[in-house]
């Protein structure tokens, strides 16, 4: 399933996608910190931080009433939070979990989890040829993709435990539940994908995704299974409760202050340890501007933060939505060290023609008719970086009549094109339509108006076609010398394909596809900068997910997991397998629970 189908399927099924889950998380009862006039500012006198309101610590303790004592408090009922809670409670510890959303409308965000080396993914993926992956190889490849910028011990812990912990998370599924699961990145039974590549250059990719899109068994239901297991082991869940502040006694965690969002009252939960797992800060504009300057500082006039659907993110007041950065605020106020560069998901590059559907098998040119980058750079989340530093003009993706074959050369990663029989037929249909329009023989079907009601986001791409490269260039709006430059550029590129060496931008030989057999086709677009599906970091920890202070020393009792945890992805999210965001949250959430249990043995 490609990324377009991912969003479409989730939307039609009514389950919480990464984007749709944000929308469903909106609740009218929340308050922002700025609304809390009874909170006490606790400034450290820093001129640098004083100019940014979220960095100013808040103290709610004077207004809080006692809510009980626990061994540990988990803040956030996402994948990392619920797995941490379940692990701790099953080890016999008294745990409270605080969740922002009301229980009656609780919805999990996301659907796809990486399941490499799990028994479940092997069971549901008959066409997956990668049933057993060496964890050390997976780790080495991961560190190569992120330029060795990650936390080595933490990432290895993920790689070594990903199979077992994924199976543990899904262990309550019934046979009927499992029957509804789907997968991406490898062919279904009865299909073959002869051009599915295991690597491009030195970068490897691995199928192995568990997709829970079906209404009968989505991630909200699966989270519920894990919640019930935690409750059966003694855990207590407090919904509609927003974590606000971590309390400390002589530097050690001693409690958590939270808000009851139903009545605005404050609660104090005593504890020896806390796991912060609130899912990041994708709906806090001030934090995005502050903590992701490599995006904010590269936006041009007219660009703004956008959601996963390409819509402007902050049209109205988003402060009552989830993903306000509560966990990062709490941990930072308690002394935790922030990452200098925080990764986003699908955030720090500009794809072509759209973020939802890019065409790396094509040749990309700009208004001068020239190529300007390696169109098929292996890591999709890094591929469009050159576009960030160029004018926001349309990027034209150009290909020839052999494209239905070339399009099948793909790797299992975020937003991949899945070369199913139906997808290839749809591509051919789109190309045929474009050529008929060029020839003036196209007749619009009666059903097309109705079909397009789903919106342009889900519509098949509109190609243009021409018998000649010169004609195609003119249809793309190229003028004057740019037309001749374009034709010469394609001829030069075709020579690179013949020789197997791209002397201009280093595109790998295995994905060099000539543009020489007419008719010729193209589509153009430029989504601009500012789209972000989620944030993927924040607080620096050690391999135990124990938060580190300004001197990189562990803060006793403070643990951070999921998208609040830093140094997992380098400067941007990566996908050697689709779904590693959820997969890592599940796996390392459980590992965080194990780490907290070890700590509790010592206090």
CATH of the domain at 384: 3.90.700.10
CATH of the domain at 66: 3.50.50.60
All residues at 6 or more sequence positions from 40 whose CB lies less than 8 Å from its CB, including other chains: 58, 59, 60, 62
End residue of a domain, out of 476, 502, 525: 525
| Domain-embedded: residue 151 | no
pLDDT digits (tens, 9 = 90+) for 264-277: 999 999 999 999 99
Band of pLDDT at residue 10, cut at 50, 70 and 90: very low
What percentage of the chain has pLDDT greater than the value 90?
81
Q: Where are the beta strands (DSSP E) in 499-541?
A: 520-525
Q: Is the confidence at residue 27, as pLDDT, over 60? A: no
Domain residues for the domain of 568 are: 33-104+236-346+532-600
| 398 and 278 part of one domain | no
- Mean pLDDT of the chain, nearest integer: 90
| Domain-embedded: residue 222 | no
Q: Is the confidence at residue 13, as pLDDT, over 80? A: no
Structural domain count, the chain: 2
| Domain-embedded: residue 510 | yes
Q: Is the confidence at residue 140, as pLDDT, over 90? A: yes
What is the pLDDT, as a whole number, of residue 37? 46
pLDDT digits (tens, 9 = 90+) for 305-332: 999 888 999 998 888 889 999 999 999 9
Q: What is the rounded CA–CA span in Å between residue 245 and residue 139? A: 35
What is the pLDDT, as a whole number, of residue 194? 93
Highest mean pLDDT among 72-86, 106-120, 173-187, 414-428: 72-86
| Domain-embedded: residue 272 | yes
| 436 and 577 part of one domain | no
What is the pLDDT, as a whole number, of residue 339? 96
Q: Count Cα atoms within 13 angstroms, Cβ side, for 388.
A: 18
| 537 and 505 part of one domain | no
Long-range contacts of 499-502 (CB under 8 A, 24+ apart): 502/374
| 436 and 453 part of one domain | yes
| 442 and 485 part of one domain | yes
Q: Count Cα atoms within 13 angstroms, Cβ side, for 550.
A: 3
Mean pLDDT on 518-536: 95
Please list, residue by residue across 531-563, b when 16 or more beta carbons sit within 10 angstroms of its beta carbon and e when fewer do.
bbbbbbbbbbbbebbbbbeeeeeebbbbbbbbb
| 434 and 574 part of one domain | no
What is the pLDDT, as a whole number, of residue 42? 62
What is the pLDDT, as a whole number, of residue 343? 97
| Domain-embedded: residue 353 | no
| Domain-embedded: residue 193 | no
What is the pLDDT, as a whole number, of residue 141? 98
End residue of a domain, out of 525, 542, 574: 525
Give the H/E segment covering residue 224: helix 219-232
End residue of a domain, out of 525, 553, 571: 525
Mean pLDDT on 399-403: 99
| 405 and 476 part of one domain | yes
| 488 and 381 part of one domain | yes
- The sign of the CA dihedral 304, 347, 415, 118 is negative
| Domain-embedded: residue 56 | yes
What is the pLDDT, as a whole number, of residue 5? 37
Contact between 457 and 467 under an 8 Å Cβ cutoff? The reply is no
| Domain-embedded: residue 95 | yes
What is the pLDDT, as a whole number, of residue 434? 98
Q: Is the confidence at residue 345, as pLDDT, over 50? A: yes
| 484 and 546 part of one domain | no
| 372 and 317 part of one domain | no
Q: What is the rounded CA–CA span in Å between residue 82 and residue 62? A: 29
Q: Is the confidence at residue 30, as pLDDT, over 60? A: no
Q: Is the confidence at residue 47, as pLDDT, over 70? A: no
Band of pLDDT at residue 8, cut at 50, 70 and 90: very low
| 314 and 380 part of one domain | no
pTM: 0.91
How many CB atoms within 10 Å of residue 567? 21
Q: Is the confidence at residue 21, as pLDDT, over 70? A: no
Instruction: List, in sequence order, every residue forming a beta bridge with 66; answer none if it has no partner.
Output: 268
pLDDT digits (tens, 9 = 90+) for 239-294: 999 999 999 999 999 999 999 999 999 999 999 999 999 999 999 999 999 999 99
What is the pLDDT, as a whole number, of residue 457? 44
Q: How far is CA 146 from the centre of its chain?
A: 15
| 378 and 516 part of one domain | yes
Q: Is the confidence at residue 43, as pLDDT, over 80? A: no
Q: Count Cα atoms within 13 angstroms, Cβ side, for 374.
A: 19
What is the pLDDT, as a whole number, of residue 122? 87
């Amino acid at each position: 399933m490609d990324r377009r189908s991912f969003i479409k399927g989730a939307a039609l099924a009514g389950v919480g996608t990464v984007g749709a889950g944000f929308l469903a998380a909106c609740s009218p009862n929340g308050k922002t910190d700025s609304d809390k006039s009874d909170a006490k500012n606790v400034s450290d006198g820093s001129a640098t931080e004083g100019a940014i309101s979220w960095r100013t610590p808040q103290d709610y303790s004077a207004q809080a009433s006692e809510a009980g004592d626990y061994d540990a408090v988990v803040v956030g009922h996402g994948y990392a939070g619920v797995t941490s809670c379940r692990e701790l409670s099953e080890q016999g510890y008294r745990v409270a979990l605080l969740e922002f959303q009301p229980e009656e409308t609780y919805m999990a965000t996301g659907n796809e989890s990486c399941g490499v080396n799990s028994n479940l993914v092997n069971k549901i993926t008959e066409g997956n040829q990668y049933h057993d992956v060496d964890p050390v190889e997976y780790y080495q490849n991961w560190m190569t993709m992120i330029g060795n910028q990650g936390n080595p011990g933490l990432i290895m812990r993920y790689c070594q435990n990903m199979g077992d912990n994924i199976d543990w998370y899904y262990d309550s599924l019934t046979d009927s539940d499992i029957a509804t699961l789907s997968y991406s990145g490898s062919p279904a039974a009865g299909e073959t994908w002869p051009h599915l590549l295991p690597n491009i250059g030195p970068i490897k990719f691995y199928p192995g995704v568990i997709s829970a899109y079906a209404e009968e068994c989505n991630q909200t239901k699966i989270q519920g299974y894990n919640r019930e297991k935690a409750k059966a082991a003694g855990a207590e869940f407090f919904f509609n409760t927003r974590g606000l502040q971590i309390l400390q006694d002589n530097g050690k965690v001693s409690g958590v202050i939270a808000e009851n969002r139903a009545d605005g009252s404050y609660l104090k939960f005593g504890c020896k340890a806390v796991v912060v797992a609130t899912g990041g800060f994708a709906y806090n504009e001030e934090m995005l501007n502050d903590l992701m300057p490599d995006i904010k500082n590269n936006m041009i006039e007219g660009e703004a933060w956008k959601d996963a659907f390409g819509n402007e993110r902050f049209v109205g007041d988003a402060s009552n939505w989830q993903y306000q950065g509560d966990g990062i605020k709490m941990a930072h106020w308690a002394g935790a060290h922030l990452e200098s560069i925080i990764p986003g998901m699908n955030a720090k590059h500009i794809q072509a023609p759209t973020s939802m559907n890019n065409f790396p098998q094509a040749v990309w040119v700009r208004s001068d008719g020239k190529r300007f980058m390696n169109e098929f750079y292996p890591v999709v989340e890094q591929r469009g970086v050159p576009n960030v530093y160029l004018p926001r003009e349309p990027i034209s993706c150009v290909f020839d009549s052999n494209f239905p074959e070339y399009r099948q050369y793909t790797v299992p990663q975020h937003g991949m094109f899945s070369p199913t029989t139906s997808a290839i037929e749809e591509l051919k249909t789109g190309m045929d339509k474009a050529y008929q329009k060029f020839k003036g023989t196209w007749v619009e079907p009666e059903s097309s108006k109705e079909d397009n009601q789903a919106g342009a986001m889900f519509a098949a791409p509109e190609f243009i076609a021409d018998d000649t490269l010169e004609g195609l260039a003119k249809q793309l709006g190229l003028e004057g010398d740019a037309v001749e430059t374009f034709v010469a550029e394609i001829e030069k590129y075709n020579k690179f394909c013949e020789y197997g060496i791209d002397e201009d931008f280093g595109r790998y030989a295995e994905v060099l596809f000539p543009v020489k057999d007419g008719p010729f086709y193209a589509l153009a677009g430029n989504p601009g900068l500012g789209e972000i599906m989620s944030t993927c970091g924040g607080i620096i920890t050690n391999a135990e997910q124990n938060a580190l202070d300004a001197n990189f020393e562990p803060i006793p009792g403070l643990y951070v997991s999921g998208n609040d945890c830093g140094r997992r992805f380098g400067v941007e999210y990566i996908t050697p397998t689709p779904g590693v965001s959820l997969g890592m949250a599940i796996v390392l959430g459980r590992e965080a629970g194990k780490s907290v249990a070890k700590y509790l043995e010592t206090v």
